[in-house]
Structure 1
């Protein structure tokens, strides 16, 4: 429920009150004394779905943007006429659950902080995320998402496109580009400082840290996260629900991969930064695409109906453009996903082959103690580089035939030759 406070221009009092009477809306009017051309202030409660059509109708009657119109939450309204009004406008579909276009625009603008605050908070969140990745701490990484101010620009671009507010669209676009650059740059600088000061060993293999490695070679599931974040973000802002919590989800799609890209750059591995940077870009684009589609489906349109056709064409072009770019990135992520599947399949098949070799009667006195596959550094399309097979058996040297057999059987599952290292452990029974 909303309480609308509206200043009445001179000469429009009877017209505006007539609209409210025709709609059977309860109102209270107070006289206004000021040096502006307004004679009264009218207060009236409305169900959420009624705010936009009523304000549009009043604007058609002469209430322009220079007048003060304040819309605030109303906790409780006790009125039979209000109950009837609610039944008229609330029919249970998507459009009746959303806030008005005017409130949506105001909410999107309020979620974007000033340039200085946005820059500082983005840098801090990237630094915290980088520290969390080095520590391999999911809790710290989640903390970095909480302070990231990304939800405003991420949603403002979609809102500006749909309601034909090009200033909001352009500002949100600039903020998003700035946020990506700042996050990756801040993470790279912080990671470099951590490395040169030996806080983290310079020889650290970043692929050995789970929180980092999973973002250096992302898969298609990351695309689902970004699309879900975009839809949830728009629904939350359009219905006035928990926007802050959805902001954490949007930050989850952007800040950690940006930090991973910065770490890879600081470690002098630009190829390792390709996957995480692509993940940042596809997530940003997916959030915007999902936001555009969700807002249009929810029924938001520009205030001026004469610009509806032009706005619809503009939104359609942007949706098609975003969808095309996201599709390209999706193919790239799909290739990474397939590469990961091939590696996983090789690891399973190779271990099975090792177990089968050792189960032969010729090698029945030997036992597989450990099996490990080491990957190369060709990110984002990593592949098996070396296989370490630890075998236990009677004292003495392992027979050369065992190593040859393992090398042969394991390599039949790989397109390229994989080095197979046999570690032999003498087992003495007492």
Structure 2
């Protein structure tokens, strides 16, 4: 179940209440007349089954409540109510299959913002991966994958493509390209420093690396894994199964490939630099393509189920 808290101008309260009452899967409706102060108006509270929420939110936006008032949505972790159980049974479809497009757009918008924190996480992840590729240490590679925040912009691009939101697509693409460019440049400097103090050597980079050699040797398996991971990551976002994102993060070689490209570039190794860049681009393409197709499929299947 989801909990909605609305602030409505007094002249629009009845319209909002009627919309909630006729939406299948809603319950626990409360109207607090004159309770709101900023903006002034009434407060309307209700619970709605997840599978009915997207239609209700669209209807409320059509009433311009997002402009004249406020619409807030929260997850209900526990609801001990027969009415809530009945509302969920009456709502069409399954809650796990429903996509809240407004929530998805908001989440990807936040995750795809080019911020200092985003750049810091991506740079630190790339530097950790740089240590992993030089030492041929798979544990460091996995740790770097888990730290990397790059799935947010990738999901933003997929969401923007399906929702036809060019502004979100531009924001996400900017965060992705600028983020990786900055991370690679800073990791090149980090690699030069580590070489100067004797912790990195070119011999380590060019030697046998059975644990991490894959990061500069792209093949079809890399693309297949990226596609599968992109689909799984998108499903985890739309179904609120955020724990699955950790598994997605450690299954693709975006950050390790960028790290290997940076270290190789610091030593002038163009072969590994180009191979790592190909691996990075292949993974980014696979994740974005899979994410977009997954969202399109979910949208189509949900329409068919409702019909």
Write the deviation string for residues 249-286 of structure 1: whole angstroms up to 9, x where unpaired: 36x42011111112222222112221111010111111
Distance 1:146 1:200 in 2: 23
Tell me: CA distance 1:61–1:192, structure 2 relative to 1, closer, same or farther (3 Å): closer
RCO greater where, 1 or 2, for CA within 8 Å and sep 6 or more? 2
Distance 1:89 1:273 in 2: 53
Distance 2:175 2:248 in 1: 15
What is the match of residue 60 of structure 2?
58
Q: Secondary structure at the match of 1:172?
A: helix
Write the deviation string for residues 138-167 of structure 1: whole angstroms up to 9, x where unpaired: 111111122212121111111122223322
What is the match of residue 67 of structure 1?
69
- Is 2:30–2:45's contact at 8 Å kept on the other side of the alignment? yes
**Alignment equivalent of 2:85, drawn from 80, 83, 86:** 83
What is the match of residue 249 of structure 1?
250
**TM-score, scaled to structure 1:** 0.64
| 1:285 paired to 2:295 | no
Distance 2:168 2:86 in 1: 36
Segments of structure 1 that go 5 or more residues without pairing to the other structure are 301-430
Kindly state the Cα deviation for residue 111 of structure 1 after the two structures are TM-superposed: 2.6
Kindly state the Cα deviation for residue 80 of structure 1 after the two structures are TM-superposed: 4.3
Distance 1:37 1:128 in 2: 48
Tell me: CA distance 1:216–1:58, structure 2 relative to 1, closer, same or farther (3 Å): closer
- Is 2:114–2:174's contact at 8 Å kept on the other side of the alignment? no
The count of aligned residue pairs is: 298
Kindly state the Cα deviation for residue 54 of structure 1 after the two structures are TM-superposed: 1.2
- Is 1:159–1:295's contact at 8 Å kept on the other side of the alignment? yes
What is the match of residue 177 of structure 1?
177
Write the deviation string for residues 278-306 of structure 1: whole angstroms up to 9, x where unpaired: 01011111111111111111118xxxxxx
**TM-score, scaled to structure 2:** 0.87
Kindly state the Cα deviation for residue 38 of structure 1 after the two structures are TM-superposed: 4.2
Q: Secondary structure at the match of 2:11?
A: coil
Q: Secondary structure at the match of 1:143?
A: helix
What is the match of residue 153 of structure 2?
153
Q: Secondary structure at the match of 1:299?
A: helix
Write the deviation string for residues 8-63 of structure 1: whole angstroms up to 9, x where unpaired: 22311222222223336330111235565642111111111111111222333453
**Alignment equivalent of 1:32, drawn from 34, 42, 48:** 34
- Deviating runs (4+, > 6 A) in structure 1? none
Q: Secondary structure at the match of 2:224?
A: helix
Distance 2:236 2:293 in 1: 14
What is the match of residue 120 of structure 1?
120
Q: Secondary structure at the match of 2:261?
A: helix
- Is 1:161–1:169's contact at 8 Å kept on the other side of the alignment? yes
Tell me: CA distance 1:33–1:200, structure 2 relative to 1, closer, same or farther (3 Å): closer
What is the match of residue 215 of structure 2?
215
Write the deviation string for residues 207-245 of structure 1: whole angstroms up to 9, x where unpaired: 422344322222211111211121111111101012541
Q: Secondary structure at the match of 1:14?
A: helix
Counterpart mapping for 1:275-314 below 5 A: 275-299=275-299
Write the deviation string for residues 360-380 of structure 1: whole angstroms up to 9, x where unpaired: xxxxxxxxxxxxxxxxxxxxx
* Bigger-Rg structure (1/2): 1
**Alignment equivalent of 1:49, drawn from 48, 51, 54:** 51
- Is 1:184–1:258's contact at 8 Å kept on the other side of the alignment? yes
- Is 1:183–1:255's contact at 8 Å kept on the other side of the alignment? no
What is the match of residue 14 of structure 2?
14
Distance 1:45 1:113 in 2: 31
Distance 2:43 2:115 in 1: 35
Segments of structure 2 that go 5 or more residues without pairing to the other structure are 301-307
